Structure 1
Amino acid sequence: MKATKLNLLHVRSIPIRTFWISAIAFFICFFAWFGIVPFMPDVVKDLGLTPAQKWNSIILAVTGTVFARLLIGKLCDKYGPRLCYTWLLIIGAIPVILIGLAQTPFQFLLCRFFIGFIGASFVITQFHTSIMFAPNIVGTANATSAGWGNLGGGANRLGMPLIAAAVVSFGVADELAWRYSMIIAGFVCFLMGLIYYFFTQDTPKGNFSELRKTGNMPVLKKDKVSFLSTLKDYRVWILFLVYAACFGMELTVYGTMDDYLQNTFGLERITAGNIVLSFALMNIFARTLGGFFGDRFGKLKGLRGRVLFLTFILMAEGIMLSVFSMTTSLVVGIIFLVAFSLTVQMAEGATFSVVPFINKKAIGSISGIVGAGGNVGAFLAALLLKSKSAMAESAALKANASLGEEAAKTAQAAAASGAVSSGYFVIGIFVVVAAISALAIKFSTADEEAVLLEMDGKRTLSTVEA
């Protein structure tokens, strides 16, 4: 049976055990995905990356995930989340290990592209929790597992340097520590794949393969939902846009905020990094709040209530980012950055409190498409910021070349700050537009009644229906 409560201590329960393992697997994937970020100064020096190649590495890191997320959702519908997660972790470990062996900029960029594939772990996590928890709690379960997994994207800023320090203590040269650290992260991914295979199952009733053999999961023509029909559902594409406007912007901020804080407010790199780490740590509770309030509004106003809350919190996110982009005071800037952090992560949780109800027979495919939207948003936002920043920095360097190296660097930092600031403002406006578009998501009376029946316990959806 699906779990109706998120009792985190009830680890003998299949849904709760699945929740914990999927969240930990997601954390490890994000830890490895962004594991190279704390070492970028070392990588630039070691491999001789140009500024353009550094920006390209950020873009490639989120580009590969788009393709992986689109594919993995359909594979989950067909083969089940257990096998999909197992193979994603095992195969995804390969480029994580290989990046530690890269000798040229091209090899490094290629590895960053393929490492991005493990970002598809998000889709499997959301799919697995969606079929393990009942409608009254599924939003909270999805948001919490995703939020705690997202922590890996910020925890590596503390964890990776610690791993590097441990490696150095064994006699490894400082300049090689980043390589060994990434190799270690790759092996952890591989081991987690084995754990996922042996300690989880696809549904509360068993694995997909077993259910098909016993006839408890018949593959009937009338139950099939083609991928094409999923693509034709306009609601899927609105949620694609919505997720681009929340998770995509979170990824963008992860990759650019360190430099922005240094250039705009004159902070030291360590201080800026700690602020960004704090931003990531808000995933402990912020994304859960989005799912929680999504469930609450769903209980009060039905499926439409979930959409209304998503619209509200997404609009708040856009406003917070736009205001932050205009602040010149560090104190005021931190206040609005915290507000943005809270609302962007709540919007992510609220999005996946809506996703499981679009089409219960194609949760994997829909999760994949919506999840890919986040990376498309990050890709486009990174292109915007790269183009603005590159042009502004080049112009500043050219105009101040005769004033000396120090003056040129100061002008370059100011130009980069202004370019990224205007980019953040534009992105904030886009988020507000995406929020307004969410209001177009509609559900039929039959959909509303079906959810009410399931929540009242009058009907229990089978694994096939879910």
Structure 2
Amino acid sequence: MSQTRINLFNFSDPRIFTLHITWFAFFLTFVMWFSHAPLRDAIMSTFEMSVAQWKALLILNVALTIPSRIVIGMLVDKFGPRHVYSGLLVAAGGLCLFFSMASSYEMLAFARLMMGFIGAGFVIGIRMIGEWFPARTVGLAEGIYGGWGNFGSAAAAFTLPSLMLFYGGENGWRYAVLTTGAIAAVYGVFFFIKARNTPKGSTYFKPKKSGGLEVTCKRDFYFLIGMTVPMYACLAVLAWKLSPSGVDLLSQGATYGIYLALAALFVVQVASIYSVNKDMLRDGVEEEQRYNFKQVAILDVNYFVTFGSELAVVSMLPGYFMDTFGLSPQMAGLFGGGFALMNLLARPIGGLVSDKFGRRATMMILICGLAVGYFVMGMVNSSWPIVFAVMATMLCSFFVQSGEGAVFAIVPLVKRRLSGQIAGMVGAYGNVGAVCFLTVYSFVDASTFFMVIGASSALAFAASYFLDEPQGHTVEVLDDGTVQRIEVA
């Protein structure tokens, strides 16, 4: 295969084969992760849920993905994508079974909380695709992986309401969810048999230590700790939202217990980061082996706005179309799924443009488009023709998902042996954004919700101004001390 082109129909090329089986694994995780959104009315009816309880369920769905993406990133760097993706898919099948068997709102909420782990699957493929594609095409390849995988949420919106009707009865939604889990479990076995971590003859670089992200200077050590705080703060906000002050799903005592547990976990994580980096703090790192953690922090912020807003919007959009335009669940799922449908085109375009015309300029332009798109969506109301509302949704979606593609066109180029952990942290910030935006949504109407997201893009635009273009090569050291240079530009 050419180093500058990707022929998606050349299945005899192991790179292309790996790309296809990996994006489909990601696709299945998103089908399962967002299986609840198009089945809203049936689930709410079964459990006689209030709107506040449903909104709490949306927040729960993205909560544990924050720490799970960090953990999965570490596991991927240590054990490789093949084992981790296979295990996640099989485990996700079990979680779908658990969710489909829920007999109370509390059990349903706990199941949905646990299904947040499924959303960590994205991180695994980022490392795998980064191993198989060179710098000149990695943005496009990651965009195809991310875009076609993210399409899973749209596929769920398009198909699950009809699958529910096919099964029929009050338990139709349960069988629809269970079907997605069964398919994923079988595919997990297939992925284990067919996937390989790297091309033949390539080295799979692993972190020197596990338990925390390696940084390469003292300034970045403290920067990393500071960037860890918002993830724990976000989980604390979630606990507050579920406390008696919110939807009253947790007792006050349980809420305080969660606060203490989060504080303890933060201390443990800081200790782990110190343990991984203590030699660097004492002895320093050779200049050619350094990377700039600033790049990771900027990508965190950009993904907070781009993917964070997508997660929030796809969770509420089918219901929004039902409430605003009086549509059936099937039609609302069809129109609402259009937001994620754009992933098929937009995310690869974002990666391709980033590959061809520069990482920083591409990011800033796409963030501006995102802001305009959300402001337009904020002006949609029931007086609009439905076709214009859908067009506004698709316009906004294009810039959101192109921005995501541009973010992950850079992630594999920062530091190869840490790509899983970097992808995990950036991905976790996407979920921090989702929890923040969904928390806002629980207090405001949809129009204000869209406007808030649009305004938040100013943060990502400002951060992008300080983004550095990857230059030349990055250096990795093998276990035997051999130095290997990897092209990043």
- Residue among 375, 380, 388 paired with 1:322: 375
- Structure 1 partner of 2:363: 310
Aligned residue identity for 2:376: V
1:247–1:345: 8 Å Cα contact kept in structure 2?
A: yes
Report the Cα distance in structure 1 between the residues aligned to 2:442 and 2:433, rounded to whole angstroms: 14
- Distance change >3 Å, CA 148–CA 97, structure 1 → 2: same
2:378–2:448: 8 Å Cα contact kept in structure 1?
A: yes
Report the Cα distance in structure 2 between the residues aligned to 1:76 and 1:152, rounded to whole angstroms: 22
- 1:465 deviates by 11
- 1:106 deviates by 0.7
- Structure 1 partner of 2:441: 385
Report the Cα distance in structure 2 between the residues aligned to 1:196 and 1:370, rounded to whole angstroms: 25
- Structure 2 partner of 1:141: 141
- Structure 2 partner of 1:433: 459
- Structure 2 partner of 1:273: 333
Report the Cα distance in structure 1 between the residues aligned to 2:84 and 2:329, rounded to whole angstroms: 38
Classify the secondary structure of the residue corresponding to 2:186: helix
Classify the secondary structure of the residue corresponding to 1:442: coil
> Is 1:227 the counterpart of 2:250 in the alignment?
no
- 1:161 deviates by 2.7
1:97–1:185: 8 Å Cα contact kept in structure 2?
A: no
- 1:279 deviates by 2.3
Report the Cα distance in structure 1 between the residues aligned to 2:177 and 2:54, rounded to whole angstroms: 18
- 1:381 deviates by 0.2
Classify the secondary structure of the residue corresponding to 2:101: coil
Structure 1: stretches of 5+ with no match in the other structure? 169-173, 298-304, 389-418, 452-459
1:323–1:336: 8 Å Cα contact kept in structure 2?
A: yes
- Distance change >3 Å, CA 423–CA 201, structure 1 → 2: same
- 1:52 deviates by 2.1
- Structure 1 partner of 2:123: 123
Bigger CA drift: 287-296 or 255-264? Answer: 255-264
- 1:249 deviates by 0.6
Report the Cα distance in structure 1 between the residues aligned to 2:21 and 2:311, rounded to whole angstroms: 23
> 1:167-195: per-residue Cα shift (whole Å, max 9, x none)?
34xxxxx1011112222211111111101
Aligned residue identity for 1:64: L
**Which has the larger helix fraction?**
1
- Structure 1 partner of 2:280: none
> 1:94-144: per-residue Cα shift (whole Å, max 9, x none)?
111111111010110111111111111111111111111011110000001
- Structure 2 partner of 1:287: 347
Aligned residue identity for 2:294: Y
1:246–1:374: 8 Å Cα contact kept in structure 2?
A: yes
Aligned residue identity for 1:306: R
Q: How many aligned residue pairs are there?
A: 404
Report the Cα distance in structure 2 between the residues aligned to 1:277 and 1:430, rounded to whole angstroms: 23
Aligned residue identity for 2:305: A
- Distance change >3 Å, CA 293–CA 50, structure 1 → 2: same
- 1:462 deviates by 7.3
Classify the secondary structure of the residue corresponding to 1:190: helix
> Is 1:349 the counterpart of 2:375 in the alignment?
no
TM-score by length of 1: 0.80
- Residue among 295, 298, 307 paired with 1:247: 307
Structure 2: stretches of 5+ with no match in the other structure? 225-292, 475-482
- Structure 1 partner of 2:199: 204
Aligned residue identity for 2:135: P
Identity %: 30
Classify the secondary structure of the residue corresponding to 1:102: coil
- Distance change >3 Å, CA 219–CA 26, structure 1 → 2: closer
- Distance change >3 Å, CA 264–CA 48, structure 1 → 2: closer
- 1:248 deviates by 0.9
Classify the secondary structure of the residue corresponding to 2:171: helix
Report the Cα distance in structure 2 between the residues aligned to 1:370 and 1:37, rounded to whole angstroms: 24
Aligned residue identity for 2:396: F
1:3–1:132: 8 Å Cα contact kept in structure 2?
A: no
- Distance change >3 Å, CA 431–CA 101, structure 1 → 2: same
- Structure 2 partner of 1:366: 422
> Is 1:191 the counterpart of 2:186 in the alignment?
yes
Matches within 5 A, 1:1-150: 4-150=4-150
